[in-house]
Structure 1
Amino acid sequence: MEGQLFADVVLPLALPRLLTYSVPAELADEVAVGARVGVQLGKKKIYSAVIHSLHANKPEGYDTKDILMVLDKFPIILPQQMELWSWISTYYMCTLGEVMKAALPSGLKLESETKITLTSNEELEVETLGEMEKSVIGFISARKSTTLADLSEILPASRILPTIRTLLDDKLVALDEVLSGGFKPKREYYVRLHPSIISEDDVNTAFTKLDRAAVQQKAFLAYLSMATPIDFAKPKEVERKLIIDKAEVSAQAIKGLKEKNILDVYERVVTRLGFDDDPSKAINPLSEGQQVAMDTIISEFETKDVVLLHGVTGSGKTEVYIHLINKMLDEGKQVLYLLPEIALTAQIINRLKRVFGSKIGIFHSKFSNEHRVETYLNLLDDTNENQYQIILGVRSSIFLPFKNLGLIIVDEEHENTYKQYDPAPRYNARDVSVVMAAHHSAKVLMGTATPAIETYFNAKTGKYGLVELANRYNDAAMPDIAIVDVRRARKQKQLHSHFTSHLLDAVGAALKRNEQVILFQNRRGFAPFLECEECGWVPECEHCNVSLTYHKRSNQLVCHYCGYSMSLPTTCLACGSPSMTTKGFGTEKIEEELQIFFPEASIERLDLDTARSRSAYERIIGDFEERRIDILVGTQMVTKGLDFDNVSLVGVLDADTMLRFPDFRAYERSYQLISQVSGRAGRKEKKGSVIVQTSQPDSDVLRMVRQNDYNALYEWQLVERHQFLYPPFYRLTKITIKHVDRKLLHEIAEVLGYRLRAIFGDRILGPEEPAINRIQNRYLLGFVLKMERTKPVTKVKELLWNAIYEVQGQPKYKGMMVSVDVDPM
């Protein structure tokens, strides 16, 4: 490209459009679409940005700044990824910068003020530098590190970046691993024989040197034992820490061996990913029903890009997935296996690794930034013999750089955890996977026992293929489901705290048979709130209009919206009465009270409080799988596809909170949650039992759960959705406006509502205050747009944005914040 070259770049910021930078002539051969570059924004900030396009068109209205540096030798964003970013930005009404923030591991986003440090380049004499470069070296040396802003103290603004560029080229300074917050390769120390030791005689001579250094002698012996047989031409490398552990010495002993030219000690980059697992188990043959499902899926893929596998809990859907994955690998294709919950990866990865070994990579937020960066870069590197062929991950895995994707499996496709709520982009990974697959000419298989109404509608109307697995694997029986009336139990004095006699008896019987129990309560914490028995005062969050949840283990009242916490008050802060009592119950309270009823049992919780780290998830699930836990109490985490052989009883402690939730999806979600958690009981040869506690025993939803009649639920809900203009017949878009001034917020809402109704008429509902109308000191009002599916999506969103920008652009309303949620869950 002749003449001045310009680059439109994506910055990791919510900017409404791309910014254009000029490409210096010396960097023209290094830049590429999809590569990261360092750019300056404003006077002090430097960000890494991704090149969106290169062209020769100088922008009008502002002078371009130069790109400072090229961070990548090859593009890290592939064309298919950029296409997907653009689609997500348009469909979910957010900026490309917000998509970039979600798409890249934080180790590749590099967004902060740049730190500059000295390197140890001994090949170049500082005296050969110019005066400005010498000044910078001295300035950094005195401070250990500095920033571009600090350098303005000693250099003219126009000379800061060129001077740093010179020092970077001479490798005298580094920008804190390129930029602050960047990915740092993992390094380990390795040990081998010093090059001067080339024979057995040299080894014996080395021992003579160590006659008076017993500790060093131990370390040398440890190395030799681990490096046997010794190849003097190519000595074996041994990790230093292994020698330290084996010889029980310190690193200082090995350093002494290096100084005596006996061992060579050096540092090198190692992978965090681990490629040591080899397949140890053949693929299991499919049952007759599974084989029919497999053949039908393959047949459906000939004419459909998306297929729904609707199989009851325990029908063996995962085994079908394994055979499909194997088929794709035989065809040289990659597979993305999406799961709704990190907790599931711990169990499924072990199952898949026994078959596919190190072909599998795992990607989710509980791994370190460095691990996620290495996984990302692994997929980009075609020369890597250990390149992943299968990725098992949660929703963010859709942003990985697949080059030869053949299949996306969306397991438990109905789960709302596939939806990103905050911050933007508020995408649904299930729906994005369909678009992503189209960009790669790949196929999508969605699997679940309880499909989302919209997914089942698409399958029933022919948009998706549909495959049914109606029986459990090996014809195992579905569990018996008992609906227990809590009101009747209370009247008959058969309610003990939050447990009916029926449930307690069943738990006791299961424990006597050495079987395990899962109890489901869809609320974490000890109690939903505290209340003064004298005046009715309830502690609320200082920043949100919501009561604080009591967590007994930490003795704190916590806001589950903003994280605010306070110590438990001993007296009412309104009237001074000591009569403070807890109301309701969460998983923590259930765990405590179960210990009273079953003191000999091992009881554990699985919720957000106990499983915040990857190791905690894996420990709890592993202990339950190994039968070291008798009773597992959990929130929705225990409903999501976990498979335990010894669980004979599942208890749902409070179905009413789900059935009464004020949302058009309440009955659908209640059916899904209760059916899914019920499916954890009686796997394989044991018939399980499920006990559902409720004050609505005659509920139609519970009747359908009991009869395992999803089709009845679907037909019932479809009639209501059509009548009241909900999905799958209409598209929903939720617009939330926020402001610290409640009066001004209502004024803004009136103006915005007028604009929206002028465009969309009665398709706009609101403004309405949500149940929790203040979060983090901002008041909230919401609108809902119900739009026919036949209307052009892009045009509708363009009109919606225009109305929002028109109001937001008024000086009086600039403090307003707007969030748009397309296809809210």
Structure 2
Amino acid sequence: MSTLADVVLPLPLYKYFTYRIPSDLQEALQIGSRVVVPFGRKKYYTAIVVRLHDVMPQGYEVKELISVLDERPVLRRPQLQFWEWIADYYLCSVGDVYKAALPSGLKLESETTVTLNTDFEEPDDNRLKEREWMLLAALGKKSRMTVQDLEKESGMRNILPTLRVLLEREAVFVSEQLKTNYRPKTETYIRLTFQQGDDAALRHAFECVKQAKKQETMLLSFLDLSLFMQKGKLREVSRKSLLDRSGVSSAVLGAMVEKGLFEPYKKEISRFETEVYTVQEAAPLSDAQQVAYRQISDSFKEHSVTLLHGVTSSGKTEIYAHLIDRVLHEGRQVLYLVPEIALTTQLTNRLRKIFGDKLMIYHSKFSDNERVEIWNTLLDDHSPRIVLGVRSSIFLPFGDLGLVIVDEEHETSYKQYDPAPRYHARNAAIVLASMHGAKTLLGTATPAIETYFNARQGKYGLVELKSRFNDVELPEIIPVDVREMRKKNRMRGNFTPELLNRMQIALDGDEQVILFQNRRGFAPMVECKQCAWVPKCEHCDVSLTYHKRFNQLTCHYCGFTYEIPKVCPACGQPTIGVMGFGTERIEEDIAQHFPNIPVSRMDLDTTRSRSAYEQIIEDFSKKKNKILIGTQMITKGLDFDHVSVVGILSADLMMNYPDFRAHERAFQMMEQVSGRAGRKNRKGVVVLQTSQPESPLIRQVIAHDYEGMYNMQLSERKAFSYPPYTRLIYIYLKHRDETLLQELSVRYTSLLREVFGARVLGPDNPPVARIQSLYIRKVVLKMELSASMPKVKEILKQVYENMLVDDRFKTLLLYYDVDPM
């Protein structure tokens, strides 16, 4: 039986810590269980056991863990191994992964309170020591206080060993009051006070209520509801359903409880829908889909990962459904990843019809309690299930994954930026699947260049689906030269005549329109027309965005808001005006051009809640709104049957971003949003507004030429040593003092070059060089694909420690971003 436990703490620490296991807990403790441990002078944390052993560590005093929180572990195999892989690959601590992986409701806040035992008598043969008496005397002033308060009251430090002695001698009691954010949802149910089948008691009950008609109605309603037999037993009756069925007041129910006929009780219930679904088989596949399905099955025999490259509207979801059905019949689980919460709304409805209550949804818009409930369901229920979720779903406690589907695998939303771990869910999901012996299917119409490269090189399987479902044609893309239209004075606000004309035709034909502008707010910039002064954020090096609805300027990096000045603070003239346009301004312009047409807008400002996403999508699907205006949210695989026109309002905005992926991303976004047009046997039209109609990128989008874009970008990346030919690691250094930051970042980079040589670039200013009052420097590390990430991590750690000889370096914030997007 092990006497020591290594634990991971929810802190950014690069090592595990060892604690002594009290003898009464040694038998119950298991790897993966949560325990409460003291750490530091005054704090307690919920840690997770990662190893049980008997090897006493050297270099620090081993403390004793306080309590075990779980009868069964909260982690399954291979979750700890998966956490360690993420920490090693993405250059962070396992504690960072723990904080990200576990729902907050499972990370408890500990308020350890100590209570004086007033019946304690000191034995003559075993007297208390001075420190022990001092603690009892301090505790006697209030009889009950927290460890922190007791330390202050007694003036003593490190009182835990002394407290342990007092605990063993029963001079004090420790009550571990663990505040948990998770609260089970309960509902009041009603039951009879006598056993089912007791006819005499039932007759007596009717005798008791025969003079009270409303009570009699309630008793009959109870029996009526209960007579829905379920596996030979009467069904339970909730208080709400009983009141609804009987149509009488709660006072009548209270009277029957007083008579001793009914007994109310609390029952823990699920927060999620519990209705029984009428499931149906997945829709039969078309000939092209059937071929792709067989090719995927064959590919899985040779490859763990397969890419399904299918054009927009080719019916990839139907193929997924057939693959899922097969895996569930094998008794295994499926993880279906999507990039945005918005997608889960439509997919939920489609998948519910096929898989019923086997489908579970998981994303960040769920409350903490809901996420804990899903976690516990997966821990306790071993039945085959499909989990539909966003990137954080990879951390759920799957028992036996058989298939992982990463839909729209190219999406940047799969990348976690802040805080650590800065993982990419697609890449992490591939590793998770391999740990379960599962297969991974990556699906998209516009693969990430690295993914397509791996498929073409034979590392992944490749299946292509080049025709749309029902042979619907790909949309016609019409480029319109905005620069030319402005010269001829033909622009109507931010719209070309071509786009407005196409929109009018669609609306007259009772069809719908999507307008894409990848910038929210009313105007991206405010400027003085007299002196060109531009308001900037006080905390970040960015101009402010004007939001007309709130009549304020907002920084989209730190969220700080500012009042709009009446006059220019630089020249004193009342000549402040707006430049450019965001989704909010488009919404206002559309109201002028199409005054009686209902419009909805989907961007970060309108989708703060889960219900907001669902409402916008539902209203547009049911044609309550005819025009949908949105940012990149609307590019991500949404299915609308009546959209015949898509307008891309500013293609140049995406093309001219200073990043080596800008060309690839712009193509993906335009191709994806174009795919929303022309469904259900109709060829759609996309009007693409640009001032660079002859750009190679625009020509590739018009021709739907993914291969051309891929080959062009691949040759450039090979020439300049960018992915997929190298692995990038961005190292960010931040500080409030720009001069100090520059000096230390140059020294740090010099130390890196001594080890990595020409692989190191920088330090440079990123496009936004100050955020939330912190100045930023970026160092780029280009590593060979064959390089060992644990080895790189060790070298980076060593360089960091060498820099710590200068105490000023400790005040810098430094972090790594592996495979940045």
TM-score of the two chains, using structure 1 as the length reference? 0.91
Query: Residue 29 of structure 2 aligns to which amino acid in structure 1?
Result: V
Partner of 1:202: 204
Residues 246 and 277 of structure 1: is their aligned pair in 2 closer, same or farther, counting only changes over 3 Å? closer
Partner of 2:127: none
Residues 160 and 520 of structure 1: is their aligned pair in 2 closer, same or farther, counting only changes over 3 Å? farther
Report how far residue 229 of structure 1 moved.
Answer: 7.2
Residues 279 and 356 in structure 1, CA contact (< 8 A), matched pair in contact too: no
Identity of aligned residues (%): 48
CA distance in 1, matches of 2:271, 2:684: 41
CA distance in 1, matches of 2:402, 2:334: 6
Partner of 1:30: 28
Residues 403 and 367 of structure 1: is their aligned pair in 2 closer, same or farther, counting only changes over 3 Å? same
Report how far residue 173 of structure 1 moved.
Answer: 5.8
Q: Which moved more, 1:486-495 or 1:374-383?
A: 374-383
Partner of 2:407: 411
CA distance in 2, matches of 1:219, 1:744: 77
- Partner SS for 2:63: coil
Residues 672 and 73 of structure 1: is their aligned pair in 2 closer, same or farther, counting only changes over 3 Å? same
- Kindly report which structure 2 residues correspond to 1:204-243, keeping only aligned pairs within 5 A, or say none: 204-207=206-209, 210=212, 223-228=222-227, 236-243=235-242
Residues 243 and 670 of structure 1: is their aligned pair in 2 closer, same or farther, counting only changes over 3 Å? same
Partner of 1:121: none
Report how far residue 186 of structure 1 moved.
Answer: 1.3
Partner of 1:122: none
Residues 628 and 117 of structure 1: is their aligned pair in 2 closer, same or farther, counting only changes over 3 Å? farther
Query: Residue 702 of structure 2 aligns to which amino acid in structure 1?
Result: R
Partner of 1:269: 268
Residues 273 and 375 in structure 1, CA contact (< 8 A), matched pair in contact too: no
CA distance in 1, matches of 2:242, 2:574: 62
Report how far residue 239 of structure 1 moved.
Answer: 1.5
Partner of 1:470: 466
Query: Residue 71 of structure 1 aligns to which amino acid in structure 2?
Result: L
Partner of 2:339: 340
CA distance in 2, matches of 1:635, 1:603: 15
Report how far residue 283 of structure 1 moved.
Answer: 1.4
Report how far residue 76 of structure 1 moved.
Answer: 1.5
Query: Residue 758 of structure 1 aligns to which amino acid in structure 2?
Result: E
Residues 500 and 149 of structure 1: is their aligned pair in 2 closer, same or farther, counting only changes over 3 Å? same
- Partner SS for 1:302: helix
1:590 to 582, 586, 597: 586
Report how far residue 571 of structure 1 moved.
Answer: 3.0
CA distance in 2, matches of 1:117, 1:249: 50
- Kindly report which structure 2 residues correspond to 1:42-121, keeping only aligned pairs within 5 A, or say none: 42-110=40-108, 112-114=109-111
Report whether the alignment pairs 1:193 with 2:189: no
Residues 454 and 727 in structure 1, CA contact (< 8 A), matched pair in contact too: yes
Residues 192 and 235 in structure 1, CA contact (< 8 A), matched pair in contact too: no
CA distance in 1, matches of 2:44, 2:429: 33
Query: Residue 344 of structure 1 aligns to which amino acid in structure 2?
Result: L
Q: Which moved more, 1:77-86 or 1:447-456?
A: 77-86
TM-score of the two chains, using structure 2 as the length reference? 0.92
Per-residue CA shift, 1:282-324, capped at 9, x if unaligned?
Answer: 2111111111111111111111111000000011111110111
Report how far residue 532 of structure 1 moved.
Answer: 2.2
Partner of 1:601: 597
1:654 to 628, 650, 655: 650
1:815 to 805, 811, 816: 811
Partner of 1:15: 13
Report how far residue 242 of structure 1 moved.
Answer: 2.9
Residues 658 and 767 in structure 2, CA contact (< 8 A), matched pair in contact too: no
CA distance in 1, matches of 2:713, 2:228: 71
Partner of 1:625: 621
* Equivalenced residues, count: 799
Partner of 1:429: 425
Residues 192 and 236 in structure 1, CA contact (< 8 A), matched pair in contact too: no
Partner of 2:745: 749
Report how far residue 91 of structure 1 moved.
Answer: 0.5
Residues 241 and 695 of structure 1: is their aligned pair in 2 closer, same or farther, counting only changes over 3 Å? same
CA distance in 1, matches of 2:760, 2:556: 30
- Partner SS for 1:444: strand
Report whether the alignment pairs 1:315 with 2:311: no
Provide structure 2 residue ranges, at least 5 long, that are not aligned to the other structure. 123-131
Report how far residue 793 of structure 1 moved.
Answer: 3.2
Per-residue CA shift, 1:225-264, capped at 9, x if unaligned?
Answer: 5345799x97642212333455666656544432331211
- Partner SS for 1:269: strand
Partner of 2:129: none
Residues 437 and 235 of structure 1: is their aligned pair in 2 closer, same or farther, counting only changes over 3 Å? closer
Provide structure 1 residue ranges, at least 5 long, that are not aligned to the other structure. 119-125
CA distance in 2, matches of 1:633, 1:218: 54
1:758 to 754, 761, 765: 754
Report how far residue 564 of structure 1 moved.
Answer: 1.3
- Partner SS for 1:324: helix
Report how far residue 371 of structure 1 moved.
Answer: 1.1
2:533 to 533, 537, 541: 537
Query: Residue 111 of structure 2 aligns to which amino acid in structure 1?
Result: T
Partner of 2:125: none
Query: Residue 202 of structure 1 aligns to which amino acid in structure 2?
Result: H
Residues 206 and 216 in structure 2, CA contact (< 8 A), matched pair in contact too: no
CA distance in 2, matches of 1:778, 1:229: 64
CA distance in 1, matches of 2:226, 2:120: 47
Residues 484 and 207 of structure 1: is their aligned pair in 2 closer, same or farther, counting only changes over 3 Å? same
CA distance in 2, matches of 1:678, 1:817: 42
Partner of 1:355: 354
Report how far residue 388 of structure 1 moved.
Answer: 5.3
Report how far residue 270 of structure 1 moved.
Answer: 1.2
- Partner SS for 2:693: coil
CA distance in 1, matches of 2:254, 2:603: 47
2:436 to 429, 432, 440: 440
CA distance in 2, matches of 1:629, 1:512: 14
Query: Residue 630 of structure 2 aligns to which amino acid in structure 1?
Result: G
Report how far residue 632 of structure 1 moved.
Answer: 0.5
CA distance in 1, matches of 2:525, 2:317: 40
Per-residue CA shift, 1:679-725, capped at 9, x if unaligned?
Answer: 00001211111011010101111111111111111111110000011
Report how far residue 582 of structure 1 moved.
Answer: 1.4
Residues 96 and 817 of structure 1: is their aligned pair in 2 closer, same or farther, counting only changes over 3 Å? same
Partner of 1:792: 788
- Partner SS for 1:396: helix
- Partner SS for 2:78: helix
Report whether the alignment pairs 1:705 with 2:662: no
Query: Residue 659 of structure 2 aligns to which amino acid in structure 1?
Result: D
CA distance in 1, matches of 2:67, 2:276: 39
CA root-mean-square deviation? 2.9
CA distance in 2, matches of 1:314, 1:434: 25
CA distance in 2, matches of 1:675, 1:7: 53
Report how far residue 350 of structure 1 moved.
Answer: 0.7
Report whether the alignment pairs 1:718 with 2:714: yes
